[in-house]
Amino acid sequence: MQVVLHTGVHETGGDRLFKTLLRNRDGLRSEGIAIPGPGKYRQLISEMLNALGDGAPAPDTRDILLDSILDQDTGHVDRLILSHENLFSVPKIAFQGGVLYRKAEQRLTTLRQIFSQDSFEVFIGLRNPATYLPALLKATPLDDISQLLQGLDPAQVRWSDLIERITEALPGVSLTVWCDEDSPLIWGELVREIAGVAPTHPIIGAYSRMADIATQEGMTRFRAYLAERPDLTEVQIRRVKVAFLDKYADDSKIDDELDLPGWDADLVQDLTEQYEEDLYDLGRMPGVTLITP
């Protein structure tokens, strides 16, 4: 069986992604793809990982988990898709000890041990630290960014460090990452990659993230344009998206509020440039697939 795990990160539309997958659940079931509701496993997995710590899982842990997660006989499931954006931590301790998701590799290693007889894939959404950190702070009860970062300088937040830790801890495991900023352009492709279906497989909600930032008129015109051209390839559709967003994007839906005390335009620019350099490094990392527009 193929086990696919989406782990967030926080504030990258994780639940929105999983809701899109759930909307497509019935259409994917006939292909042996199971997308169980998160209520069946998120708390169970968190409690199990907290109890195990650095310990090894019992031999029957996989069977116990699958019995709790799956409604159908596991023999009819070829691909199991799980999503848990709090797998690494809850938001308020994302930088516990001044390290970004310091338990990430430990928790993934334990899950890899549980599903040792299965293939194992990990999907992680990323985001520009200039917008990720303010959004993450807002999701916590903390008062300021220094409490969240626990001594870490914002300029030290590099996703490539986290991904490198994970790839070193889980050699041979397929790891796919993408930028949340690109989601409006790659949403359908991303859902298909997680589901493991062909690029031509129809996806309900494939343009929902685009609709989040486009005007209603723009989306109406976009859908009409596609309806008149049913033979467009995914690459061509992506170019059409770019063209329509250039003309019909709603700026009020795009601008992120960056109102942290002490943050100025120069810092935001520096973090953004560093993020772009970080993504370049990620794209060259062995074993890592970076989905881009």
Instruction: Say yes or no to pLDDT of 73 above 60.
Output: no
Instruction: Read off the pLDDT of each residue in 26-50 and give the average, rounded to a whole number.
Output: 92
Looking at the chain, the whole-number percentage of residues with pLDDT higher than 70 is: 97
Q: Tens digits of per-residue pLDDT, 79-91? A: 999 999 999 999 9
In-domain check, residue 88: yes
Residue type, 164: E
Instruction: Say yes or no to pLDDT of 175 above 80.
Output: yes
Task: Report the run of H or E that residue 176 belongs to, with start and end.
Answer: strand 174-179
Q: Which distant-in-sequence residues (6+ apart) come within 8 Å of 269 by Cβ?
A: none
Q: Residue 53: phi, psi to the nearest 5?
A: 60, -125
Query: Are the beta carbons of 4 and 196 closer than 8 angstroms?
Result: yes
In-domain check, residue 83: yes
Q: Which long-range contacts (CB under 8 A, 24 or more apart) does 25-28 make?
A: 27/202, 27/204, 28/195, 28/197
Instruction: Read off the pLDDT of each residue in 134-159 and give the average, rounded to a whole number.
Output: 95
- What is the rounded distance in angstroms from the CA atom of residue 11 to the CA atom of residue 85? 9
Q: Which distant-in-sequence residues (6+ apart) come within 8 Å of 270 by Cβ?
A: 155
Instruction: Read off the pLDDT of each residue in 97-118 and give the average, rounded to a whole number.
Output: 96
Whole-prediction pTM: 0.94
The domain in which residue 197 lies consists of 2-214+249-291
Q: How confident is the model at residue 226 (pLDDT cuts 50, 70, 90)?
A: very high
C-alpha angle 161/165/168, rounded to 5°?
135
Provide the H-helix boundaries in the chain.
14-23, 25-29, 42-52, 61-69, 104-114, 129-138, 145-149, 159-169, 183-195, 208-213, 216-227, 234-248, 251-254, 265-283
Q: How confident is the model at residue 72 (pLDDT cuts 50, 70, 90)?
A: low
In-domain check, residue 97: yes
Q: Tens digits of per-residue pLDDT, 245-286? A: 999 999 877 766 676 888 888 999 999 999 999 999 999 999
In-domain check, residue 21: yes
Instruction: Say yes or no to pLDDT of 210 above 80.
Output: yes
What is the reported pLDDT for 47? 93
In-domain check, residue 182: yes
- What is the rounded distance in angstroms from the CA atom of residue 222 to the CA atom of residue 50? 47
| DSSP-derived pairing of the beta strands 79-83 and 2-6 | parallel
More confidently predicted of 264 and 73:
264
Instruction: Read off the pLDDT of each residue in 25-37 and give the average, rounded to a whole number.
Output: 92
| Core vs surface per residue 146-172: b (16+ CB within 10 A) or e | eebbeebebeebbbbebbbbbbeebee
The CATH number assigned to the domain holding 52 equals 3.40.50
In-domain check, residue 233: no
In-domain check, residue 231: no
Instruction: Say yes or no to pLDDT of 31 above 70.
Output: yes
What is the reported pLDDT for 121? 97
**What value does the mean pLDDT of the chain take?**
93
What is the reported pLDDT for 288? 97
What is the reported pLDDT for 90? 96
- Number of domains observed in the structure of the chain: 1
